[in-house]
Amino acid sequence: MTTVFKKSVPGREGVWPAKPKKDVSEFIPAELLRDSAGMPSLSELDVVRHFTRLSLKNYGVDGNFYPLGSCTMKYNPKFTEKAAALPGFARLHPVMPQLKGAGRHCQGALEVVYETEQLLSEITGMSGFTLQPMAGAHGELTGAMLIAAYHKDKGNKKTKVICPDSAHGTNPASATIAGFEVISIESKDGIISPEALAEVLDDDVAALMMTCPNTLGLFETHLPEIVKMLHEKDALLYYDGANLNAIMGKLRVGDAGFDVVHVNLHKTFATPHGGGGPGSGPVGVSEKLLPYLPISRVKKLEDGSFYLDYNYPKSIGYIAPFYGSFGVFLKAYAYILRLGREGIVRASENAVLNANYMRKKLEDYFEIPYNKLCMHEFVSSAAKQAENGVRALDIAKALLDKGYHAPTIYFPLIVKECMMIEPTETESKATMDAFIDDLIEIAQIAETDPDALHAAPIYLPASRLDETAAARNMELTDDIG
Amino acid sequence: MPYVPHSPEEVREMLEVIGVSTVEDLFAEIPAEFRPKSFDLPEGKSEMEVLDRLEHLAAKNTTNMTSFLGAGFYDHFIPSAVDALSSRGEFYTAYTPYQPEAAQGTLQAIFEYQTAMTRLMGLPYANASVYDGGTALYEAAMMAVRKTRRRKIIVSEGLNPIYRVMLDSYTTNLNLELVTIPHKNGATDIKAISAAIDKETAAVLVQNPNFFGSINDFTDLFKTVHENKAVAVMSTYPVMQSVLKTPGDMGADIAVADGQSLGQPLSFGGPYLGIMTCNKTLVRQMPGRMAGRTTDTEGRTGYVLTLQAREQHIRRHKATSNICSNQALCALRALIHLCLLGEEGLRRTAGLSIERAHYAAERLTAIDGVELFTEGPFGNEFAITLPVNAYEVIDALTERSIIPGFPIGRYYEGMEKGLLVACTEKTTEEQIGIFAEILRGTLS
């Protein structure tokens, strides 16, 4: 489809404000000015049609089943959008509470921040939360910075962070960017073995970053021992909250001994991901890390009013300009209030129920490398199909043709021809049954007509795209190439 | 139970397939001693009750005052079609475009966003956005550190202090040296910055217009930066960038900005988006995602995420950055906003904002004891010196439903009488007149 820039017709009228009385050159010398900014000239209808047509080339949860493992693409209730768009929130300037007396003009927003922190603390069992991190990986970096601040303050010389080989790539990247050396350990039977941990666990270890249930969908059954081993070395335990959707009400990471956790609100707490963001990655900490949380912190006075507290001399400082992705965590706040205690527990229960149901229904057709009770997702493999030359990628593309988004493929890296399936709790049995039938049909085609799958997708706006050429040609704007 | 569709009969059927008798059996692996000590959340509420609660909270915020607050974040008009288009479920409820054939809408939008940003900044490459303007500035500094393998970063005090404190936090554990060059009466001290550049310098970070509103040409400064083989980084304000000489034209290697002013509501600080653009020598150092144009097996044009070898999911601890997502929806809003306004609309937005700010400066400085602090040309924001502490004026005027601006003394020692005043195309001459008259009354 033609780019919006190529559709420009000079002179065509868009959404214009009034014409200024004077030319900008009367205020700013000509040598500091430019001529054209190269923006297109289009009518409002041109723009509406262009972006409506683009939207029709996209899959979203609203239109399709989206079993993308590790990404938790559940339904996002519509009412939360209404809440975030209320002018009392949307029009509020972020420096308002910094204007001394004007703090009283944003009490409602500060209350949202305060209560969201409280709710997340109760769900995870942590002592305190910051909502500043603007995405999951940003939360990881914040967590790693908190860990560094803790050790520095205690006079510990700790330089290493342990990441299991199944960890999200963001874990090692975040630890590195916070100044740590990353040590990788291999999983055994899909989980962390205390023996492998013992081999690398020395006095230099600052923390272990763990996802539990892990990226194979398995619960880390050696967790009690691992917690003990780390704490004996005064090393901290970091919980990657990507899989929190599996355990709410069943396990609180704070009670289990974790010191830091980040939560991906767009996953567990149903805020739309918008095709790649914005996210929101609040970080919770155990009591010993409270003094290091980013500033400012929202505090409640005895009279019930709220204010910003900057008096944390050990704080890691500012990791966001203000309070984080306010519009995003406002939606999570509304979602948590809507579900309540019972609803939150039920969400995890049904997420796990659905994943296990699909695992059992598919086990005769696809290899399930760790075929035992899983949490909210499970890993299957196209290893059997690969013998016929049909790879996980081909199956993914065939699923697109069937009208679904594909599962996550080739992650975690430790499983061959990996397909990671996560149905989430909001999908019905009927949807899952239809998907299972389609997937079984694809498995049968893989045996009889592998080439048909190599050609997929054929019903989408694009067939398979040449990624190698894209990287080589570097055509990254309409003006290059 | 909201949003969970199963009937009790369906649950029974599913448990039977799995081979367990209760849902609780599915959690058998979690040891008893790890079960929650408490789970004390409120009872669930109906949609109506939750909306009531949120409306109540929203009403506790005052948003109907006349505001001259800016400090890098501005209340520009957002055309209605921005909301309508960006809230389409196909955009809104999609994930990262991991299956490009099913995400051509998102990918083409990112590609078009990249095009718009490179044109605004006058530099050839852009990424798909990062979290915000402060993160973008920090990432730019790190690009320079990786590229030059040097550790000194020169920071102008004319840079938004909110971003400078972020930069401080992020670099605490890294072996880097931040050298801050003080402003000179609100102007970026180009001479002092030039003098500080040496062979150890990785990057020079400046802002245009700077925090005080002052507009500069950094062309000569950037020449000095390049003579020392350092990287020139410029932070900007995208709406003003529609009329101002571009970072690219001045010779900047990297230009960054916060995209809030392009179609994002102020929303108490987020979500916004960080804009990043750069020249060709730095493109492989750029963090985060980029969309690239290619062809499919039929030879049709299509889009994919590209140059992923830089990224964390491939390179893990050796990646250019830990950034995994982008602000895709915010970037989409920025793009739609720019397309709706178009060249003429954007220039008018900038022009009106500048015109109103100059009118405000004229009216305010006509008051006894009020002086213009910003030297030289300025755009839609400027600083004044008051005869009293700025907080006093803010408190007094807020009582009269006017937020007169941002107190500069909050971040700059000794500038307690400084007030930063911003206008946009939404500010009316009448509002400015009322502001000036009430301020005159307050000061007399």
Contacts of B286 in chain A (CB under 8 A): none
Q: Is residue A346 within 8 Å of residue B2, measured between CB atoms?
A: no
| Contact between chains at A41 and B344 (C-beta distance less than 8 A) | yes
pLDDT above 90 for A414: no
Please report residues of B whose CB lies closer than 8 A to that of A134: 131-132, 135, 270-271
**Helices assigned H by DSSP within A178-219:** 194-200
Contact B315 A169 (CB under 8 A): yes
Angle, vertex CA A418, rays to CA A189 and CA A394, nearest 5: 165
Q: Identify the sign of the CA torsion B309, B310, B315, B318.
A: positive
Tens of pLDDT along B235-249? 999 999 999 999 999
pLDDT per position as a tens digit, A51-92: 999 999 999 999 999 999 999 999 999 999 999 999 999 999
Instruction: Give the burial string for B86-105 (b: 16+ CB within 10 Å, else e).
Output: bbbbbbbbbbbbbbbbbbbb
Count of beta carbons in the 10 Å neighbourhood of residue B388: 13
Chain A residues lying within 8 Å of B252, measured CB to CB: none
Q: Rounded CA gap, B228 and B41, in Å? A: 59
Identify the three-state secondary structure at position A19.
coil
To 5 degrees, how large is the angle CA B324–CA A464–CA A3?
75
CA-nearest residue to B111 within chain A is A477
pLDDT for res B368: 97
Calculate the alpha carbon distances from A334 to A35, A347, B153 in Å.
46, 15, 42
Q: Is the pLDDT of residue B314 over 90?
A: no
Taking an 8 Å cut-off on Cβ atoms, the answer to whether A361 and B97 are in contact is no
Count of beta carbons in the 10 Å neighbourhood of residue A34: 16
Q: How far apart are CA A201 and CA B16, in angstroms?
A: 43
Q: In what order do the strands lie in the sheet with A205-210?
A: A128-130, A283-285, A260-262, A236-240, A205-210, A160-164, A181-185
Closest CA relative to residue A408, chosen from A390, A396, A425: A396
First to last CA, chain A: 16
Q: Do A217 and A376 form a contact (C-beta atoms < 8 A)?
A: yes
- How far is residue B109's CA from residue B117's CA, in Å, rounded to a whole number? 12
Quote the CA–CA distance of A358 and A378 in Å, as a whole number. 9
Q: Cis peptide before B271, with omega less than 30 degrees from 0?
A: yes
Q: What is the mean pLDDT of chain B?
A: 97
Q: How far apart are CA A119 and CA A330, in angstroms?
A: 12
pLDDT of residue A360: 98
Whole-angstrom Cα distance, residue B235 to residue A231? 44
Among A52, A61, A95, A216, most B C-beta atoms within 10 A, so best to mutate, is A95
Q: Using one digit for the tens of pLDDT, what is the confidence trace for A176-192?
A: 999 999 999 998 888 99
Q: Which two tokens stand for residue B440?
A: 């005159």
CB contact under 8 A, A172 and B316: yes
A215/chain B closest Cα distance in angstroms: 14
Cα B3 from chain centroid? 34
Contact B212, B225 (CB under 8 A): no
How close does chain A come to B326, measured CA to CA in Å? 5
Task: Report the C-alpha gap between B326 and B132 in whole angstroms.
Answer: 10
Distance from CA of A248 to the nearest CA of B (A): 9
Q: Reply yes or no on whether the pLDDT at B1 is more than 80.
A: no
pLDDT at position B322 is 93
Share of chain B above pLDDT 70, in %: 100
By Cβ distance, the residue of A47, A353, A476 closest to B14 is A353
In this predicted structure, the answer to whether residue A101 has a pLDDT above a threshold of 80 is no
Predicted structure pTM score: 0.98
Mutate to test the interface with B, among A27, A250, A467 (most CBs of B within 10 A): A27
Report the pLDDT value the prediction gives residue A102, as an integer from 0 to 100. 62
Q: How many CB atoms lie within 10 A of CB B199?
A: 10
Query: Which among A112, A270, A318 has the least Cβ separation from residue B166?
Result: A318
Q: How many residues does chain A have?
A: 481
Contact B14 A106 (CB under 8 A): no
Indicate yes or no: CB of B344 within 8 angstroms of CB of A14: yes
**DSSP assignments along B238-286, one per residue:** TTGGGTBPPHHHHT-SEEEEEGGGTT---GGG-S--EEEEE-GGGGGG-
Residue B369 in this model has a pLDDT that exceeds 80:
yes
Least confident piece of the model among A29-38, A412-421, B118-127: A412-421
Average pLDDT score, chain A: 96
User: Using 50, 70 and 90 to split pLDDT, how confident is the model at B37?
Assistant: confident
Residue B258 has pLDDT above 80, yes or no: yes
Flag whether pLDDT at A44 surpasses 90.
Answer: yes
A contacts of B211 (beta carbons < 8 Å): none
Q: Which two tokens stand for residue B152?
A: 């000194």
ipTM value of the model?
A: 0.98
Residue B130: its pLDDT value, please?
Answer: 98
Collect all residues of chain B within an 8 Å Cβ-Cβ radius of residue A223: 31, 34
Please give the Cα distance from B288 to A226 (Å, whole number): 33
Nearest Cβ partner for A39 among B20, B44, B346:
B346
Instruction: Return the pLDDT at A238.
Output: 97
| CA distance to partner chain A, nearest, from residue B155 (Å) | 17
Tell if the CB–CB gap between A406 and B99 is shorter than 8 Å. yes
Using a CB-CB cut-off of 8 Å, the residues of chain A touching B106 are 58, 275-276
Is the pLDDT assigned to residue A99 strictly greater than 90?
Answer: no
Lookup result for tokens 């972006």 = A51
Q: Using a CB-CB distance cutoff of 8 angstroms, which residues of chain B are in contact with residue A350? A: 4, 6
B62-77: average pLDDT: 96
Distance between CA atoms of B199 and B24, rounded to whole angstroms? Answer: 65
* pLDDT tens string B111-145: 999 999 999 999 999 999 999 999 999 999 999 99
Residues of B with Cβ-Cβ distance to A77 under 8 angstroms = 2-3, 47
Q: How many other C-beta atoms lie within 10 A of the C-beta of residue B45?
A: 18
Distance (Å, rounded) from C-alpha B47 to C-alpha A340?
12
Show residues of chain A in contact with B96, CB under 8 Å.
71, 273, 275-276
Q: Rounded distance, CA A191 to CA B245, Å? A: 56
Instruction: Kindly report, residue by residue over A298-352, the tens digit of the pLDDT.
Output: 999 999 999 999 999 999 999 999 999 999 999 999 999 999 999 999 999 999 9
Nearest alpha-carbon partner for A143 in A258, A23, A14? A258
Verify cis geometry, omega within 30 degrees of 0, for the bond prior to A412: yes
Of B4, B300, B327, the CB nearest to A462: B300
Nearest C-alpha of chain B: how many angstroms from A76?
Answer: 8
b/e sequence B236-268, b meaning 16+ C-beta within 10 Å: bbbbbbbbbbbbbebbbbbbbbbbbbbbbbbbb
Q: Find the mean pLDDT for residues B369-390.
A: 97
Contact B324 A169 (CB under 8 A): yes
What residues of chain B lie within 8 A of the CB of A364, using their CB?
Answer: none
Mean pLDDT within A425-445: 98
Report how far residue A456's alpha carbon sits from residue A396's, in angstroms, rounded to the nearest whole number. 9
CA–CA dist B255, B279 (Å, integer): 9
Whether residue A290 contacts residue A127, with contact meaning beta carbons closer than 8 Å, is answered with yes
Contact B326 A276 (CB under 8 A): yes
| Residue A116: closest C-alpha in chain B | B41
Task: Give the Cα separation of A124 and A259 in Å (integer).
Answer: 11
A324, A355, A256: which is closest to A116 by C-alpha? A324
Are B322 and A170 in contact (CB < 8 Å)?
yes
Phi then psi for residue B132, to 5 deg, are -165, 180
From B85, B94, B410, residue closest to A60, measured CB to CB: B94
Neighbours of A227 (CB within 10 A): 18
> Region A469-473: what's the mean pLDDT?
95
Measured between beta carbons, the chain A residues lying within 8 angstroms of B339 are 4, 14, 39-40, 42, 47, 50
Is B398's pLDDT higher than 70? yes
